[in-house]
Amino acid sequence: MAKYKVNRKIDIRGEVCPYTFVKSKIAMEDLKSGQILEVIVDHAPATENVPRSLGNEGHKVLEVVKIGEHEWRILIQKA
Amino acid sequence: MVKVNVKFSVMFKEATRTTATTVDVSGKTVKDLIDALIKQFGPQFSERLLDAKTGEVRRFINIFVNGKDIRNLQGFNTKLEEGAEVRLIPAVAGGKEFFGLTQDQIVRYSRQIILREVGGKGQKKLMRSSVLVLGAGGLGSPASLYLTAAGIGKIGIIDSDRVDLSNLQRQILHTKDDIDRPKIESAKEKLLKINPEVKVTTYNERLTAENALDVVGDWDFVLDGSDNFPTKFLINDACVLKKVPLSHGGVLRFVGMTTTILPGKGPCYRCLTPEAPPPGMIPTCEEAGVLGAVPGVIGTIQATEAIKYLLGSGELLVGRVLFFDALEMRFEEFELKRSPNCPACGKRPLIKDLSQVDYGHVCEVRF
C-alpha cells in the first residue's frame, strides 16, 4: 500500500553528489506546494545529502527507504 | 589492437579521475573495450559500470560509438575502428534534457544552481538574458568573463580599439599573442573558449550619439566599462531614454566606484554628476595610472549586479554609490537621490534625444 501519492518520479541512478541534489532540486521547482517528488538513487551519500539539502530549502523529507542492495527511494514534499 | 578515445560521464569520475582517456583495445569490440577499462580503472569503476547481481553493464548506462547508441549497432559486439570516439553516459543524460537543462549545463552551472536564489529556474532565466558590455578593457574583461562563465545567453561587446602591450597589465581578456588584434576579436575568442554556449555579438566601433540608441535598445542590461567621461554620459543618457538598466563603473589609481541605474526607478549618473568635468581636470588612467586589480574588483561587482538584476534577487546598488579604496582597503557607500532637476531623468528632462548633447567635449546639454 502506497502511503503517499507521488506526483513526480525521477530515476537518477548513476548520478553522484552534488548532482543528485542539483537534479532533485530542479525536478522539484515546478511542482506545487504539497506535491511529492520521488527520487531513486544508487549513490549511498545521496541518501543523506539530498534529504538534508532539500530540507534546508524548506521542503519536507517524508521518507528514505532502501529498496535494493544499492538503491534507495527518497520522498520529499514540496514546501 | 586499436586505439579508441573514451569520454566518461561525471558518474565515473571518482573512479577514473578523468573524464576522457585514450585506450588501447586488444580486441576490436565494445566488450573488449569494457574489459580494458575495468582493468585500467579497477573495482571502483566496475562497481559503477556493472550490475552487482548479473555482472552485465547496468541497463541505464548508454554507450555511444561515434555518436551512435550501440543498441542500434551490434551491441557489445559493435566493432571499434582506430580512433573511434566512445562515450559512457547514464540514461538520464544521453544528450537528453532534464527539465530544460542538458547534462552538461547541469554540471557546468551546478555550483550556482545549488544556490537558493538561482536554481534551475534562475539558470534558465540567465540563459535567456542578454548583457551588453561597453569596452573590452580593465572593467569589461572581468565582467564579460564572469557573465560568460555564468551562462548569460547573449553577450555583446563594443570596442573599437586594438590590443596594446600596455593593456595587458589589467585587461585580462587579452594575451601577448593578441597584440594589435581588434579587442572584440580577442575577447570573443576567449569568451567562447570558456563557454561556447554563449552567443557573443561584437561591435567594432565607438559608441556615438548616432548609434547609441540602436546599440543599447536590444539588451536586457548594459554594463559600462568605458574609460572616458563623454562615453559614460552618452551610455547613461541612452540607457535612460531606452529604459535599459545600467551598471556604471569607473576606476583611477587605487580607487573605483560603481552604482546601478534602473531608469525611472532610481537616480542616474547625471543625478550624481550633472555634467562632466572640463577636459584635463580629472586625469585619465593613461595619465594618472591604475592598479590592474582595481578594475578587477569593480568590473566583478558590475557583473554581479547584472546577474542579480537578471535573476531578480537581492538588493541592487540603486540609489547607492559604492566607493572602493584599495590603498586603505575600504569600501564606502553613499546615498544617491534622484534629482528632480536631472537633465536626463528629472521631472522635466532636458535630454530628449542624444543630438542635443555635445559628447565630444564636456557632455553639456545645449539648447
Domain ranges of chain B: 2-95, 129-365
Please state the rounded mean pLDDT for residues B314-318.
98
Which of A14, A22, A29 has the CB atom closest to B110's CB atom? A22
Q: Is residue A58 predicted with pLDDT exceeding 50?
A: yes
Q: Which residue has the cell 559503477?
A: B48
Q: What is the pLDDT of residues B105-128, one digit of tens each?
A: 999 999 999 999 999 999 999 999
Gap from B11 CA to chain A (nearest CA, Å):
5
Enzyme catalytic residues of A: 17
Closest Cα of chain A to B148: distance in Å? 21
Contact B99 A16 (CB under 8 A): no
Q: How confident is the model at residue B52 (pLDDT cuts 50, 70, 90)?
A: confident
> Is residue B296 scored above 90 in pLDDT?
yes
- For chain B, give the secondary structure using H, E and C: CEEEEEEECHHHHHHHCCCEEEEEECCCEHHHHHHHHHHHHCHHHHHHHECCCCCCECCCEEEEECCEEHHHCCHHHCECCCCCEEEEEECCCCCCEECCEEHHHHHHCHHHHCCCCCHHHHHHHHHCCEEEEECCCCCHHHHHHHHHHHCCCEEEEECCCECCHHHCCCCCCCCHHHCCCEHHHHHHHHHHHHCCCCEEEEECCCCCCCCHHHHHHCCCEEEECCCCHHHHHHHHHHHHHHCCCEEEEEEEECEEEEEEECCCCCCCHHHHCCCCCCCCCCCCHHHHCECCHHHHHHHHHHHHHHHHHHHCCCCCCCCEEEEEECCCCEEEEEECCCCCCCCCCCCCCCCCCHHHEECCCCCEECC
B45 pLDDT band, cuts 50/70/90, is confident
- Across the interface, whether the CB atoms of A14 and B90 are under 8 A apart is answered yes
What confidence tier does B23 reach under pLDDT thresholds 50, 70, 90?
Answer: confident
Task: Please give the mean pLDDT across all residues of chain B.
Answer: 90
B107 contacts on A by Cβ (under 8 Å): 19
Confidence class for position B365, pLDDT limits 50, 70, 90: low
Q: What digits encode the pLDDT tens for the residues A13-30?
A: 989 999 999 999 999 999
Whether residue A14 and residue B11 make contact (CB cut-off 8 A), yes or no, is yes
Q: Where residue B299 falls among pLDDT bands split at 50, 70, 90?
A: very high
State the nearest Cα–Cα gap between A4 and chain B, in angstroms: 23
Nearest to A12 among B92, B120, B121 (CB): B92
B241 pLDDT higher than 70: yes
Inter-chain residue contact B92 with A16, CB threshold 8 Å: no
B129-365 folds as Rossmann fold (3.40.50)
pLDDT of residue B363: 55
User: What is the rounded average pLDDT of the residues B297-314?
Assistant: 98
Distance CA B93, CA B104 (A): 9
Residues of A in contact with B116 (CB under 8 A): 57
Share of chain B above pLDDT 70, in %: 96
> At the fourth CATH level, which superfamily is domain A8-77?
TusA-like domain (3.30.110.40)
Q: Which of B14, B90, B99 sits opposite A27 (nearest CB)?
A: B99
Determine what percent of chain B is predicted with pLDDT higher than 90.
Answer: 61
Instruction: Write down the pLDDT at residue A1.
Output: 46
Q: How far apart are CA B250 and CA B247, in angstroms?
A: 10
Fold of B2-95: Ubiquitin-like (UB roll) (3.10.20)
In this structure, of A37-51, B281-295, B333-347, the range with the lowest mean pLDDT score is B281-295
pLDDT at B310 over 90: yes
Chain A, nearest residue to B90 by Cα: A14
Measure B16 CA to nearest chain A CA, in Å.
14
The answer on pLDDT for B367 being more than 60 is no
Contacts of B102 in chain A (CB under 8 A): none
Cα–Cα dist B23/B171, whole Å: 41
Task: Check whether B142 has a pLDDT greater than 60.
Answer: yes
pLDDT (0 to 100) of residue B361: 58
B-chain residues near A29 (CB < 8 A): 99, 119-121
- Which of A10, A26, A37, A56 is best to mutate for the B interface (most B CBs within 10 A)? A26
State the pLDDT at residue B232.
94
Lowest mean pLDDT among B8-12, B145-149, B239-243, B307-311: B8-12
Give B55-94 pLDDT, tens digit per residue: 778 777 888 888 888 877 888 888 998 888 888 877 654 4
B158 CB burial (10 A radius; 0-12, 13-18, 19+)? buried
Q: What mean pLDDT is predicted for residues B311-327?
A: 98
User: What pLDDT, on a 0 to 100 scale, did the predictor assign at position B92?
Assistant: 55
